[in-house]
Structure 1
Amino acid sequence: MKCNFTPGYKKNALYLGAVACVSLSHIVPAFAQTEVLVQSGRLEQKQFDAPASIYAIDAQAIRNSGPQVNLSDVLAQAPGVVALNRNNYAQDVQISIRGFGARSAFGMRGIRLITDGIPATMPDGQGQTSTVSMTSADRMEVLTGPLALLYGNAAGGVIQAFTREAGDTPEAQVSMYAGSFGMTRTDWQISQRSGNVGMVVDYSTFAIEGYRTNSDTRRQQLNSVITVDAKPDTRFKFIINVFDMPYAKDALGLKAADVSQTPSAAGANATSTRTRKTVKQEQTGVVMEHTVDSDLKLQGRLYGGNRTNLQFQSTDKWVGLDRQFEGMGLQATGKSQVFGNQRMNWVVGIDLDHAAELREGGTASKGEKATTNPNNARNELNEARNRDIFAQANWSLGEKYTLTTGARQSNVTLKSTDYLPSNPDNGTGSVDYKATSPVIGLTWHALENLNLYANHGRGFETPTMSEAAYAGKDAAIFKEKFNFDLLASTSRHLEVGSKWLPSSSSRVDAAWFHIDTDNELVAAYVSPSAKTSYANVAKTKRDGFEVALRNQYTPHWRSQASASFIKATYEAGPSNGNMIPSIPKQQLFTSLQWSEKGFSPAGQKPALGLEAGLDLISRSSMWANDANTTTASDYALAPGFAQLNARIRQRYQIGNARVESFIGVDNITNNASISSVLVNQSTQKYFEPGLPRSWMIGFSSQIPL
Structure 2
Amino acid sequence: MSIRRFHAPWRGVAAGVLILAAAQGAVAQPVAPYSPQQKKRVPASALSSSAHSSGTAVPGAPDGPQSERITVTGMARGPATVRPAGQTTYSAERSSFGNQVGQSVADMVVTIPGVSFVAGNGPRDVVVSVRGSGDRQSYGLKNIQVLEDGFPVTQPDGTARSDLIDPHAYEGVDVFQGPASTVYGNYAINGAINFRTRSGADIHGLELGSDFGSFGMFNNYVTLGVGGRSYDLTIFGSDVRGNGFTANSSYATSTENVRLRVNLTDRDRLILKFVNNVTDAFLPLRLSLAQYRLNPYQQGCADAASAAAGCATVNLLVNGRYGATAALTPQQAGLGRFDRRSIVGLRWEHDFDSRTTWRNQFTYDQRHIDQPTSVASYVGPYNSYNASSDVTNRARLGATSLTSFGGVSFDYLDFGSQTYNVTPAGGATRGGLNGTSYGHQWNLGARFQEDWQFAPQWHAVVGLGGTYSDLGAVQNLYRYSAAGESMTAITANRFFFNLAPEAALIYAPDRDWTLHARVGTAYATPTTSNLFVTPQGNYGNNTHLKSETSLGIDLGADWHPFTGLDLEATGFYEFYRNELVSQSAGVNTISSFTFNAPASQHRGVELGADWTPLRHALPGGRIRLSYTYDNQVYTDYTEVLSGNGLSRSFDRGGKSIPGVVPNFLNARFLYDQPDGPLEGLGGYAEVTWRSDYWLDNANRLRAPGYALVNLELHYDPPKRFGWVQRLHSYIEVQNLANQTYVAGATNIADVLQADGSQAGAALLATRTGSIYAGSPRAVFGGVRVRF
The residue aligned with 1:60 is 95
Aligned pairs for 1:428-577 (under 5 A) are 428-470=491-533, 472-473=534-535, 475=536, 480-481=539-540, 483-523=542-582, 526=585, 528-553=588-613, 554=615, 555-573=619-637, 574=639, 575-577=652-654
In structure 1, C-alpha distance between the alignment counterparts of 2:68 and 2:748, rounded to whole Å: 46
Contact 2:492 2:531 in 1 (8 A): no
Matched, 1:132 2:171: no
Matched, 1:258 2:258: no
- Pairwise CA distance, 1:328: 1.0
Contact 1:193 1:199 in 2 (8 A): yes
Matched, 1:291 2:390: no
Specify the code of the residue in structure 2 equivalent to 1:160.
N
Specify the code of the residue in structure 2 equivalent to 1:229.
N
In structure 1, C-alpha distance between the alignment counterparts of 2:457 and 2:690, rounded to whole Å: 39
Secondary structure of 2:183's match? helix
Matched, 1:404 2:461: yes
- Pairwise CA distance, 1:257: 2.5
The residue aligned with 1:11 is none
Matched, 1:696 2:696: no
Specify the code of the residue in structure 1 equivalent to 2:459.
T
Moved more, 299-308 or 126-135: 126-135
Secondary structure of 1:318's match? strand
Contact 1:312 1:368 in 2 (8 A): no
In structure 2, C-alpha distance between the alignment counterparts of 1:38 and 1:56, rounded to whole Å: 11
- Pairwise CA distance, 1:654: 4.9
- Pairwise CA distance, 1:341: 3.1
- 1:10-59 deviation line (CA, Å, top 9, x unaligned): xxxxxxxxxxxxxxxxx99652324331469xxx9999995332111112
The residue aligned with 2:176 is 143
- 1:109-152 deviation line (CA, Å, top 9, x unaligned): 10111011111111222211222342111111001024464211
In structure 2, C-alpha distance between the alignment counterparts of 1:544 and 1:588, rounded to whole Å: 14
Per the normalisation by structure 1, the TM-score is 0.87
Contact 2:141 2:162 in 1 (8 A): yes
- Pairwise CA distance, 1:524: 7.6
The residue aligned with 1:602 is none
Query: 1:386 pairs with 435, 440, 443, which one?
Result: 443
Specify the code of the residue in structure 2 equivalent to 1:638.
A
In structure 2, C-alpha distance between the alignment counterparts of 1:150 and 1:449, rounded to whole Å: 29
- 1:154-186 deviation line (CA, Å, top 9, x unaligned): 211111011111117841101101111111111
- Pairwise CA distance, 1:237: 1.2
Tell me: CA distance 1:296–1:581, structure 2 relative to 1, closer, same or farther (3 Å): same
Matched, 1:596 2:673: yes
Question: Which residues of structure 2 form unaligned runs of 5+?
Answer: 1-61, 299-310, 314-328, 479-484, 640-651, 751-766
The percentage of aligned residue pairs carrying the same residue is 20
Contact 1:426 1:481 in 2 (8 A): no
- Pairwise CA distance, 1:280: 0.6
Matched, 1:349 2:420: no
- Pairwise CA distance, 1:195: 6.9
Matched, 1:152 2:152: no
Contact 1:523 1:680 in 2 (8 A): no
In structure 1, C-alpha distance between the alignment counterparts of 2:697 and 2:124, rounded to whole Å: 21
- Pairwise CA distance, 1:647: 0.8
Tell me: CA distance 1:377–1:48, structure 2 relative to 1, closer, same or farther (3 Å): closer
- Pairwise CA distance, 1:681: 6.7
Query: 2:452 pairs with 395, 398, 411, which one?
Result: 395
Contact 1:213 1:251 in 2 (8 A): yes
Contact 1:197 1:226 in 2 (8 A): yes
Matched, 1:612 2:674: no
Query: 1:226 pairs with 252, 260, 268, which one?
Result: 260
- Pairwise CA distance, 1:74: 1.8
Tell me: CA distance 1:100–1:50, structure 2 relative to 1, closer, same or farther (3 Å): same
The residue aligned with 1:14 is none
- Pairwise CA distance, 1:419: 6.2
Count residues in correspondence. Answer: 650
Specify the code of the residue in structure 2 equivalent to 1:201.
I
Question: Which residues of structure 1 form unaligned runs of 5+?
Answer: 1-26, 600-606, 630-635
Contact 2:691 2:705 in 1 (8 A): yes
- 1:82-129 deviation line (CA, Å, top 9, x unaligned): 11235x516821222112223322112101110111111112222112
Specify the code of the residue in structure 1 equivalent to 2:684.
G
Tell me: CA distance 1:692–1:426, structure 2 relative to 1, closer, same or farther (3 Å): same
Secondary structure of 1:154's match? coil
Contact 1:256 1:685 in 2 (8 A): no
Tell me: CA distance 1:230–1:423, structure 2 relative to 1, closer, same or farther (3 Å): farther
Contact 1:321 1:358 in 2 (8 A): yes
Query: 1:109 pairs with 138, 142, 148, which one?
Result: 142
The residue aligned with 1:216 is 250
Tell me: CA distance 1:482–1:35, structure 2 relative to 1, closer, same or farther (3 Å): farther
Query: 1:36 pairs with 50, 67, 71, which one?
Result: 71
The residue aligned with 2:133 is 100
The residue aligned with 1:672 is 740
In structure 1, C-alpha distance between the alignment counterparts of 2:695 and 2:598, rounded to whole Å: 17
Specify the code of the residue in structure 1 equivalent to 2:636.
A
In structure 1, C-alpha distance between the alignment counterparts of 2:749 and 2:275, rounded to whole Å: 33
Matched, 1:637 2:682: no
- Pairwise CA distance, 1:627: 2.7
Specify the code of the residue in structure 2 equivalent to 1:403.
A
In structure 1, C-alpha distance between the alignment counterparts of 2:353 and 2:673, rounded to whole Å: 46
In structure 2, C-alpha distance between the alignment counterparts of 1:681 and 1:278, rounded to whole Å: 29
Matched, 1:236 2:270: yes
In structure 1, C-alpha distance between the alignment counterparts of 2:109 and 2:148, rounded to whole Å: 15
- Pairwise CA distance, 1:267: 2.7
Tell me: CA distance 1:584–1:381, structure 2 relative to 1, closer, same or farther (3 Å): same
Tell me: CA distance 1:205–1:97, structure 2 relative to 1, closer, same or farther (3 Å): same
Specify the code of the residue in structure 1 equivalent to 2:632.
A
- Pairwise CA distance, 1:294: 2.0
Aligned pairs for 1:145-184 (under 5 A) are 145-147=178-180, 149-155=182-188, 156-167=190-201, 170-184=204-218
Per the normalisation by structure 2, the TM-score is 0.78
Moved more, 30-39 or 509-518: 30-39
Tell me: CA distance 1:229–1:297, structure 2 relative to 1, closer, same or farther (3 Å): same
Aligned pairs for 1:249-328 (under 5 A) are 249-265=282-298, 267-268=312-313, 269-315=329-375, 317-328=376-387
Contact 1:249 1:274 in 2 (8 A): yes
The residue aligned with 1:203 is 237
Matched, 1:417 2:452: no
Secondary structure of 1:526's match? coil
Contact 1:30 1:552 in 2 (8 A): no
- Pairwise CA distance, 1:242: 0.7
Specify the code of the residue in structure 2 equivalent to 1:260.
R
The residue aligned with 1:655 is 723
Secondary structure of 2:168's match? helix
- 1:536-588 deviation line (CA, Å, top 9, x unaligned): 24321111011111123433122211110111111122333221122111111
- Pairwise CA distance, 1:408: 0.6
The residue aligned with 1:9 is none
- Pairwise CA distance, 1:197: 2.9
Specify the code of the residue in structure 2 equivalent to 1:33.
E
Tell me: CA distance 1:497–1:489, structure 2 relative to 1, closer, same or farther (3 Å): same
In structure 1, C-alpha distance between the alignment counterparts of 2:776 and 2:739, rounded to whole Å: 7
In structure 1, C-alpha distance between the alignment counterparts of 2:242 and 2:81, rounded to whole Å: 40
- Pairwise CA distance, 1:701: 0.6
In structure 1, C-alpha distance between the alignment counterparts of 2:83 and 2:259, rounded to whole Å: 29
Tell me: CA distance 1:584–1:194, structure 2 relative to 1, closer, same or farther (3 Å): closer
Query: 2:154 pairs with 121, 133, 154, which one?
Result: 121
Contact 1:47 1:54 in 2 (8 A): no
Contact 2:90 2:175 in 1 (8 A): yes
In structure 1, C-alpha distance between the alignment counterparts of 2:675 and 2:418, rounded to whole Å: 56
Tell me: CA distance 1:643–1:131, structure 2 relative to 1, closer, same or farther (3 Å): same
